[in-house]
Amino acid sequence: MNTIVVCVKQVPATNDVKIDPVTKNLVRESVEGIMNPYDKNAVEEAVRIKERTGCNVIALSMGPPQYKESLREAIAMGCDDAILLSSRALGGADTLATAYTLSKGIEKIGGADLILFGRHAVDADTGQVGPITAEFLGLPQATFVTRLELEDDGWLTADRLSPAGAETVRVKLPAVVTVTGEINTPRYAVPIRIMKAARRDILVYNEQDLGCDPERIGIKGSRTVVTSVFTPPKPDRGTVMIEGSAEEAARRVAGILSDAGVL
């Protein structure tokens, strides 16, 4: 094992997010962000493998400049380096364009033996980016992994959640793995590492650095369009507020249940 790339997305720290009325994208600028929780599991797993094998771990993200905060957190947790893929042209990407850009970033790094993702990002929640990136790179993948074990012969064994329950698969490296929250408990970065990470420069690549096809990035390269975003109306469950004393309320409840044929 020489290199692990771990893909990290920054998500809003709050549910009180705003949607751009024109693009229907989340307004990510000026929103306080945190590292996507499942990506912390991915970083933790990468760092544990590094501690066993001495490999190099690179955190990779695509997004606006403030995503550097999550990349610095990844460094504080133990990643060796971090790279941000960022430019106006990359903005507004759907999962296809995001995965294409990340795959170009991974190629730019020179590939990796293992590429780790979270099972899904808790804001847009599709769970598609890891699997699509694997397709772009032509690599095997194991998704929803709860335990992984590297073998001596260049394969890895992974326990994964499946609709049928749980299953164990073997995957030949290099491979893509998406991890669940069960795989580990992410460490807290110690203050000295947080301070050191805060001073680290983060390398930024744009679409030209990556040699991206301009038709396949950002809004231009996105095949899905969010046409509207709305909060679904709450279903009317026939809730009745009963007022009065406990005795009156009990009588009313008994009457309602009797009318409904329950009593």
The contact pattern for ligand FAD, residues 82-101, with x = CB under 6 A and - = no contact, is -----------xxx--x---
Give which of 76, 82, 31, 94 is closest to 205, Cα–Cα.
Answer: 82
Q: Interface residues for ligand FAD in 19-38 (CB under 6 A)?
A: 25-26, 36, 38
For residues 250 and 256, give the distance between their C-alpha atoms in angstroms, rounded to a whole number.
Answer: 10
Query: What secondary structure, in 3-state letters, does 98-161 show?
Result: HHHHHHHHHHHHCCCCEEEEECCCCCCCCCCHHHHHHHHHCCCEEEEEEEEEECCCCEEEEEEE
63 lines the binding site for ligand FAD (CB under 6 A): yes
What is the b/e burial string over 173-192, where b = at least 16 CB atoms within 10 angstroms of the residue's CB? bbbbbbbbeebbebeebeee
Q: What is the smallest separation between the CB atom of 60 and ligand FAD, expressed in angstroms?
A: 6
Residue type, 134: A
Residue span binding ligand FAD (CB under 6 A) among the ranges 27-35, 126-134, 160-168, 238-246: 126-134
70 lines the binding site for ligand FAD (CB under 6 A): no
For residues 68 and 59, give the distance between their C-alpha atoms in angstroms, rounded to a whole number.
Answer: 10
Residue span binding ligand FAD (CB under 6 A) among the ranges 4-12, 43-51, 142-150, 239-247: 4-12
Q: What is the smallest separation between the CB atom of 257 and ligand FAD, expressed in angstroms?
A: 42
Q: What is the smallest separation between the CB atom of 84 and ligand FAD, expressed in angstroms?
A: 9
3-state secondary structure of 222: coil
For residues 246 and 241, give the distance between their C-alpha atoms in angstroms, rounded to a whole number.
Answer: 13
9 lines the binding site for ligand FAD (CB under 6 A): yes
Q: What is the CA radius of gyration of the chain?
A: 23
61 lines the binding site for ligand FAD (CB under 6 A): yes
* Residue in the shown chain whose Cβ atom is closest to ligand FAD: 118
Applying CB under 6 A, among 117, 136, 144, 205 the residue interacting with ligand FAD is 117
177 lines the binding site for ligand FAD (CB under 6 A): no
Residues that bind ligand FAD (CB under 6 A): 7-9, 25-26, 36, 38-39, 42, 61-63, 93-95, 98, 102, 117-118, 120-121, 123-130, 224, 226, 229
